[in-house]
Amino acid sequence: MMANVKVPYLDLKAQYQSIKPEIDAAIARVLDSCQFVLGSEVAAFEQDFAAYSGTTQCIALNSGTSALHLALLAAKIGPGDEVITVPFTFVASVAAVLYAGAKPVLVDIDPSSFTIDPAAIEAAITSRTKAIMPVHLYGQAANLDPIVEIARRHGLVVIEDAAQAHGAKYKGRPVGSIGDMACFSFYPGKNLGAYGEGGAVTTSNPEYARAIRMLRDWGQDRKYHHVLRGYNYRMEGFQGAILRVKLKHLDKWTEARRAIVRQYSDLLVDCDIETPKEMAWGRHVYHVYTLRADDRDGLQATLAAEGIQTGIHYPVPVHLQPAYADLGYGPGAFPHAEKAAKQVLSLPLYPELPSQAVAQVAEAVKRAVGDKTQIVGSR
**DSSP H/E element including 82:** strand 82-85
Considering beta carbons, is residue 74 or 362 the nearer one to ligand PLP?
74
CB 266, min distance to ligand PLP, A? 28
Question: Roughly what angle, to the nearest 10 degrees, separates helices 40-53 and 237-267?
Answer: 40
* Residue 309 binds ligand PLP, judged by CB under 6 A: no
* 93 belongs to the binding site for ligand PLP (CB under 6 A): yes
* CA separation for the pair 58, 76 (Å, rounded): 19
Give, to the nearest 10 degrees, the angle between helix 237-267 and helix 20-33. Answer: 160
CB of 314 to ligand PLP, least distance (A): 9
Q: By CB under 6 A, tell whether 92 contacts ligand PLP.
A: yes
Tell me how far CA of residue 210 lies from CA of 77, 140, 366, in angstroms. 16, 29, 53
Residues numbered 50-79 forming contacts with ligand PLP, rule: CB under 6 A: 63-65
List the interface residues with ligand PLP, window 136-195 (CB under 6 A). Answer: 161, 163-164, 185, 187
Continuous H helices in the chain: 12-18, 20-33, 40-53, 64-74, 92-99, 144-154, 206-215, 237-267, 296-305, 335-343, 355-369, 372-378
Contact status: 100 vs ligand PLP (CB under 6 A): no
Q: Residues 52, 90, 170, 195: which binds ligand PLP (CB under 6 A)?
A: 90
Q: How far is the CB of 300 from ligand PLP (least distance, A)?
A: 20
Shortest CB 175 distance to ligand PLP, Å: 12
Size of the site for ligand PLP (CB under 6 A): 14
Q: How far is the CB of 198 from ligand PLP (least distance, A)?
A: 7
- Which CB, 166 or 244, lies closer to ligand PLP? 166
Q: What angle do CA 80, 199, 179 make, to 5 degrees?
A: 55
161 vs 236, beta carbon nearer ligand PLP: 161
CA distances from 296 to 42, 143, 153, 154, 341 (A): 42, 27, 41, 40, 10
Nearer to ligand PLP, 287 or 336 (CB): 287
Instruction: State the residue number with the nearest CB to ligand PLP.
Output: 64
Q: How far is the CB of 190 from ligand PLP (least distance, A)?
A: 7
Pairing of strands 181-185, 199-203: antiparallel
Asked if 113 touches ligand PLP (CB under 6 A), the answer is: no
Instruction: List contacts with ligand PLP (CB under 6 A).
Output: 63-65, 89-90, 92-93, 135, 161, 163-164, 185, 187, 199
